[in-house]
Structure 1
């Protein structure tokens, strides 16, 4: 406030200015309240001025009545003192004049007293009404101020809780970002940390590929069995080659002595079997054996580790 000791007037209540605070009252509500308070004070001051004017008028009238009464009293005294000097031929009675003067004086006193009483009554009524209205205004203002303070306190608590939650969230995010930056910086300082293991050499890769081509699958038994039984045997004599065996999922024919695998494949592709057919009885036997192998139930076979 600019003037701390200034007298409270409607103009001061209208022109007063407060410093703006971040967590203070709403400036709009404060200005509206000051305007209402200024109007109430102005109205109360007008009524007080009217009451004062009425009282002054009553006092003036009372003073005039008293002055008139004094004049009448002086006249009465003069009349009473001049009775002895009256001429004997006059018919006016001194007692009558004295009584008449006393009556006028009493009437003037009664008039002055009535005016004074009316003025005092009106002034007291106006003052009581103004005091009552001022008390009501102050009570309403106090209640509104208490409610506003309660609302501001609740808002402050909510904002404090939100600020604490936001601070905790920011600390958590800051810690997470710091950890991520530390990991990134560690990788930048030592790029070898990204490697899972030592990369294999070309010789190791070649060795692994060679092992993968010759090693049988571990999902199938190593020992092979003949899948052609007597029921499916044909009447003619089987060829001189060994029976077909199944290793894993691949068909491997035993090599014929003195003949390479490439030569056999080329001969088989070049010349059909007897009768002009591309596949002979041996091929049918192999197909039947393969079919039985895949239809067989190996649950009770101990060789499969079941």
Structure 2
């Protein structure tokens, strides 16, 4: 599985006051397309590099073959009798072929090296661009997340402050109701006491009913005691 598949197939849980799922999905889709395009370009570049390398290898083989032919021709010329002017032309032709093969091989190698260098530079540039864009996007998302978190924290703090204010207001109302009830009870007791005093004064003035004091439970001085009620002749109680 390539990087683009990992990006396009990722899923996020949806939470309250989080990121917009549609925006996140669109961004991941765009990033996946760019990664797919980069992978295709890298594949093409690798193919070009491999083709250049194959040409370079073929040129080197051709050069080696030309060198072998030239060496064989030189050995043959050394073993043969003194050559005529035509033989000199053959040796010169072989040398030219050898030089041409060398130049072809060198050109192929230089082309392969230049192509590989360009491929690496292009790949690094594209990768740096994508990474830079992803980092900027991630930074923006982080800032947005912090902003959302701060807003949520402010809302929670405001809700707590409102709740505390409501509780304090309720407490003050209860204290006020308690104070009013205490004042009412005090005034009511005072009115009852005044009414009772007025009734007692009116009854006393009219010579009517009087409230007798409660009977006393004190023993009269001449009342017999419990021990005196027991006769001296009576037997003592059984133990």
Q: TM-score, with normalisation over the residues of structure 2?
A: 0.63
Contact 1:69/1:108 (8 A) holds in 2 = yes
Name which of 92, 95, 104 aligns with 1:102: 95
- Return closer, same or farther for 1:174/1:10 CA change in 2, 3 Å cut-off: same
- Aligned partner of 1:143 in structure 2 is 136
Q: CA deviation at 1:157?
A: 2.0
Q: CA deviation at 1:107?
A: 0.9
Q: CA deviation at 1:151?
A: 2.9
Find the residue that maps to 2:77 and give its secondary structure.
coil
CA distance in 2, matches of 1:180, 1:11: 64
CA distance in 2, matches of 1:36, 1:87: 77
CA distance in 1, matches of 2:109, 2:51: 9
Unpaired runs of 5+ in structure 1? 1-6, 185-189, 205-306
Number of residue-to-residue matches in the alignment: 193
Find the residue that maps to 2:11 and give its secondary structure.
coil
Find the residue that maps to 1:17 and give its secondary structure.
coil
- Aligned partner of 2:107 in structure 1 is 114
- Aligned partner of 1:81 in structure 2 is 75
Q: Which has the higher helix share?
A: 2
Q: CA deviation at 1:92?
A: 7.1
- Return closer, same or farther for 1:39/1:92 CA change in 2, 3 Å cut-off: farther
- Aligned partner of 2:86 in structure 1 is 93
CA distance in 1, matches of 2:127, 2:60: 37
Contact 2:66/2:97 (8 A) holds in 1 = yes
CA distance in 1, matches of 2:172, 2:78: 129
Q: CA deviation at 1:183?
A: 9.4
Matched, 1:170 2:163: yes
Matched, 1:29 2:23: yes
Q: CA deviation at 1:60?
A: 0.9
Q: CA deviation at 1:93?
A: 3.4
- Return closer, same or farther for 1:25/1:123 CA change in 2, 3 Å cut-off: farther
- Aligned partner of 1:261 in structure 2 is none
Contact 2:49/2:116 (8 A) holds in 1 = yes
Q: CA deviation at 1:61?
A: 1.0
Name which of 39, 46, 55 aligns with 1:52: 46
Find the residue that maps to 2:48 and give its secondary structure.
helix
* Pairing of 1:1-306 with structure 2 (within 5 A): 9-20=3-14, 25-83=19-77, 86=80, 93-174=86-167, 176=169, 197=188
Find the residue that maps to 1:16 and give its secondary structure.
coil
Contact 1:80/1:98 (8 A) holds in 2 = yes
Q: Does 1 or 2 have the higher relative contact order (CA < 8 Å, sep 6+)?
A: 2
- Return closer, same or farther for 1:25/1:94 CA change in 2, 3 Å cut-off: farther
Unpaired runs of 5+ in structure 2? 199-239
CA distance in 1, matches of 2:64, 2:157: 85
